[in-house]
Amino acid sequence: MSYGVQFTNNNNVVTLDSEFARLMVIASGRYAPNQESGLGSVTTFARPVTSQEPPLVFVRPDTINGVAGLCRMSLLGSAGNWTGFYVRAYDVSVAGLNGRYFVAAFGAQPVAQYGMRLWDGAGKLLFDSGTPNATFTRAFQNWTYVRYDTTPQGLTRIFYSVPFNFPENEYMLLNTFGMPMTSGSGIPRDLYCWWDFPNNTLYAITIAASNPFAFFLPAVFAKQAA
């Protein structure tokens, strides 16, 4: 950078500067089942996210002695006023709609009543001491095919897995697990995730009328700054 402010940590890694936005936590809290007889959850952010692009929602289901399953995530609101998110349990046989979340965007919002703010040369707010940063920790794309079966509706369901130790401070990006995927027919490939806590395994599940075996969607994780 030719001018502005730059901070480095003890390892000489740039942690903040006045040119590039970091992933900033705009709001955080808990989500819970409150729709569809306990199968759905609508969460309202503590403050709307004012970014034009959709923010990133990260979730961490509460640890249970069983499986937490999530699907059909969607953001509520619109560009410049994202107000919350919806998510659904996989089905009545699994849990998952009790947990923690944070919503983040590449840019800060004027939240703190005192502290520090930093803008870029175009006037975009990059940092506010009331919006801590989040850090991407890891991503998994090396899914192992497990098995397939047929749903009562006659659709093909395929299970993929990856070993995972489910640390309490890591949250999974939910946006990608809310979007339908391309399939081999006009019916899209629905996508679900299971957190199998007893067996330390993360599952991705796809369902479609014509369901390809190939699956490369990454599961992305992040944590909030301490």
Q: What pTM did the predictor assign?
A: 0.90
* DSSP symbol at 123: S
- Cα 206 to Cα 6, 111, 146, 149, 181: the distances in Å are 44, 40, 12, 11, 9
Q: Residue 82: exposed, middle, or buried by beta-carbon count in 10 A (0-12, 13-18, 19+)?
A: buried
Residues linked to residue 128 through DSSP beta bridges, in sequence order: 117
pLDDT at 55: 97
pLDDT at 69: 93
136: its two tokens: 């991407």
15: its two tokens: 């942690």
| Contact between 100 and 83 (Cβ < 8 Å) | no
The predicted-structure confidence for 5-16, as pLDDT tens digits, reads as follows 777 778 776 677
| Contact between 102 and 134 (Cβ < 8 Å) | yes
pLDDT at 25: 94
pLDDT-flagged residues of the chain (< 50)? none
* DSSP symbol at 217: P
The predicted-structure confidence for 57-88, as pLDDT tens digits, reads as follows 999 999 999 999 999 999 999 999 999 999 99
Q: Please identify which residue in the block is written with the tokens 């301490």.
A: 226
Residues near 165 by beta carbon (within 8 Å), at least 6 away in sequence: 200
Report domain extents, the chain: 6-68+82-136, 137-224
Q: Residue 189: exposed, middle, or buried by beta-carbon count in 10 A (0-12, 13-18, 19+)?
A: buried
pLDDT at 47: 93
pLDDT at 226: 63
Residues linked to residue 28 through DSSP beta bridges, in sequence order: 102
CA geometry: angle 31, 34, 40, nearest 5 deg: 85
